[in-house]
A and B are shown apart, each in its own frame.
Chain A
Amino acid sequence: NAGVTQTPKFQVLKTGQSMTLQCAQDMNHEYMSWYRQDPGMGLRLIHYSVGAGITDQGEVPNGYNVSRSTTEDFPLRLLSAAPSQTSVYFCASSYSRGRPHNEQFFGPGTRLTVL
């Protein structure tokens, strides 16, 4: 299994540009989520999904859209990039049904710079 994969690894955008960060997992996990991590800080939840067709907002959803058309993929869209969105973005997945705990598997991250 490849686990959780993210593309691209690095990206530089200009203010106002849009782009999509890709996330895929091959573990048949129902739950997927996006976090951002600013320098020297902990991770903050942006959006999450408990299954195909179901998404919800996390702690810092403004400026981002998500969709979950398949179990495997959970793309994150930046609508109009701003310098405040310069961050490292992590995607994670886990089982959400029938399991007593919440072990999340994280991808390697996408490092985004908005100029």
Chain B
Amino acid sequence: DAKTTQPPSMDCAEGRAANLPCNHSTISGNEYVYWYRQIHSQGPQYIIHGLKNNETNEMASLIITEDRKSSTLILPHATLRDTAVYYCIVSKAAGNKLTFGGGTRVLVKP
């Protein structure tokens, strides 16, 4: 699976949009981009995934560049409960094996 690069940390103001970048320049054609988050010491939670089109669900939006070498997770209106470590993962659809990097530690401030 392709490797990803994320900033180690970022702060965000409550109520504002949080834009989390991820680089995955070695992504192959059959690999998806997944985002998970881990709040405090809980188990990771699935957020969203995409192949090449932008995706949106009730939690977030995922913007993937046309060349698929990078993506951005957008939390539209960050709340204090969104404080967590966010992991960007690239994996084949049927692989079922997630490789977690260091992630981005997001701190939402009042």
Contacts and interface: CB of A to CB of B under 8 A. Distances in A.
Interface size grouping (class) on chain A: 20 to 34
Interface in B46-90: 46, 49, 87
B110 to A, nearest CB: 25
Contacts of B44: 43, 90, 92, 104, 106
28 contacts: A4-B43, A31-B96, A33-B97, A41-B102, A42-B100, A42-B101, A42-B102, A44-B100, A45-B98, A45-B99, A58-B97, A101-B32, A101-B49, A101-B93, A102-B34, A102-B49, A102-B91, A102-B95, A104-B36, A104-B44, A104-B98, A105-B46, A106-B44, A107-B43, A108-B42, A108-B43, A109-B41, A109-B42
Contacts of B96: 31, 33, 48, 50, 94, 96, 102, 104
Given A48-B97, A58-B97, A42 B103 contact: yes
